[in-house]
């Protein structure tokens, strides 16, 4: 199944996952890509503090063309939660 | 009594304002409990019930706890409102502390800005202050800022710069650092103010071992002068810590 971002670009769930993992990896220096999966915990595994998750908002807007709410981002626990958050924000086919 | 009422009014106003901004906000609010509501380390540091040794005084029991409620008000903004208390059965009133605050955050990547109001009082409500505060922190961008230095070095730090406006303008800087290794957590937070042309500083630190879930054995200490009394304090303590926050 494919969904559309706010600019009308078509995405698969796997494509969203790969894009999100690239963003998370750029924000987590030193972590190998293979160490970052949907199960990776933002706070416990990557060491992000209370406010650091807000850094994903801008690159997700630029890459995946979705506007995430700050409070929703602050409540995320895993990379998988972030993937789901972006995926759910995309427009599902009618 | 009047001061206590002011605390309640401040918190109630904040909650009401937030709820008014978002009619279904109650479903998005979360409660967090820790050592303090007011700092960058607020949610990392467990609330504590400790036995402590104060310079020149006998052994005290101290309960140090803060609670924070968070909710959304807009896509790029959210609000926090909280209460804190430092009390204890044998603690002198002058060294007790009660406070309440409401603070609105605005994310402006690459920085985060917070403005709010904070009320603080000593145990007898003899010395109290009501300040407006504004502070700023960079979200990241330097090694260890907001995230671990590397996968092998679980150390992170965060700086804040701000000003409190009440009885004059008091600029301040705050620097916190955390280190986590398995069940062991350690942290230190230093705040330095410029008050009436002279510098004052306050540092607190803790080392905690997680026992189960949000329960810890915690050794903590503090040294320096902090508002509202600016009385010099120095103490070390050992006791139980607890933390209630998402992810714990």
Residue B214, in any domain of the structure? yes
Bin B246: left if φ > 0, else alpha if -120 < ψ < 50, else beta.
beta
Residue A58, in any domain of the structure? yes
Residue B247, in any domain of the structure? no
- A58 Cα to chain B: minimum distance (Å): 7
CATH code (residue A37):
1.10.1200.10
CATH code (residue B164):
2.40.230.10
Residue A42, in any domain of the structure? yes
- Which of A35, A49, A70 is the closest to B147 by Cβ? A49
Are A55 and B109 inside 8 Å of each other by CB? yes
How far apart CA B33 and CA B18 sit, in angstroms, is 20
- Residues of chain A in contact with residue B30, where contact means CB-CB under 8 angstroms, are 75
- Predicted pLDDT at B22: 40
Q: What is the DSSP string of B68-118?
A: EEEEEEETTEEEEEEEEEEE-TT--GGG-EEEEEEEEEEEETTEEEEEEEE
* Total domains in the fold of chain A: 1
- B112 Cα to chain A: minimum distance (Å): 8
* Total domains in the fold of chain B: 1
Q: β-strands B168-181, B155-166: how paired? A: antiparallel
Residue A30, in any domain of the structure? yes
Are B247 and A27 inside 8 Å of each other by CB? no
Question: How far is CA B214 from its chain centroid?
Answer: 18
Please identify among residues 103-122 of chain B the ones whose CB lies closer than 8 Å to any CB of chain A.
105, 107, 109, 112
State the residue range of the domain holding B26.
2-242
DSSP code of residue A66: -
Q: In this predicted complex, what is the ipTM?
A: 0.90
State the residue range of the domain holding A11.
2-89
Say what the pTM is: 0.82
Question: How far is CA B88 from its chain centroid?
Answer: 18
- Tell me: the pLDDT tens digits for B148-186? 999 999 999 999 999 999 878 999 999 999 898 889 989
- Tell me: the pLDDT tens digits for B116-130? 998 988 888 888 889
């Amino acid at each position: 199944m494919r969904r559309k971002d706010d600019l009308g670009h078509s995405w698969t769930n796997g494509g969203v996952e790969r894009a999100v993992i690239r963003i998370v990896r750029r924000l987590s220096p030193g972590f190998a890509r293979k160490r970052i999966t949907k199960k990776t915990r933002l706070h416990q595994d990557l060491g992000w503090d209370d406010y650091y998750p807000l850094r994903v908002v801008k690159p997700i807007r630029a890459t995946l063309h979705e506007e995430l709410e700050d409070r929703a981002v602050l409540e995320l626990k895993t990379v998988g939660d972030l993937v789901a958050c972006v995926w759910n924000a995309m427009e599902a086919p009618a | 009594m009047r001061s206590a009422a002011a605390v309640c009014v401040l918190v109630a106003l904040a909650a009401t304002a937030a709820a008014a901004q978002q009619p279904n906000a109650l479903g998005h609010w979360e409660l967090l409990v820790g050592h303090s509501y007011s700092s960058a380390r607020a949610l990392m540091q467990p609330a504590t019930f400790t036995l402590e040794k104060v310079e020149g005084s006998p052994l005290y029991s101290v309960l140090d706890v803060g609670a924070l409620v968070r909710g959304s008000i807009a896509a790029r903004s959210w609000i926090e409102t909280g209460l804190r208390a430092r009390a204890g059965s044998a603690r002198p009133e002058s060294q007790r502390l009660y406070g309440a605050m409401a603070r609105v955050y605005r994310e402006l990547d690459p920085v985060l800005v917070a403005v709010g109001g904070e009320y603080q009082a000593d145990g007898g409500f003899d010395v109290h202050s009501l300040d407006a505060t504004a502070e700023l922190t960079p979200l990241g961008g330097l090694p260890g800022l907001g995230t671990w230095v590397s996968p092998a070095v679980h150390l992170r730090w965060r700086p804040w710069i701000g000003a409190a406006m009440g009885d004059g303008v008091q600029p301040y800087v705050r620097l916190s650092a955390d280190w986590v290794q398995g069940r062991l957590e350690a942290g230190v937070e230093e705040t330095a103010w410029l008050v009436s042309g002279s510098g004052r500083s306050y540092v607190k630190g803790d080392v905690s071992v997680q026992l189960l879930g949000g329960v810890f054995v915690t050794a903590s200490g503090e040294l320096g002068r902090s508002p509202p009394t600016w009385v010099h304090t120095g103490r070390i303590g050992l006791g139980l810590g607890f933390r209630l926050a998402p992810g714990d």
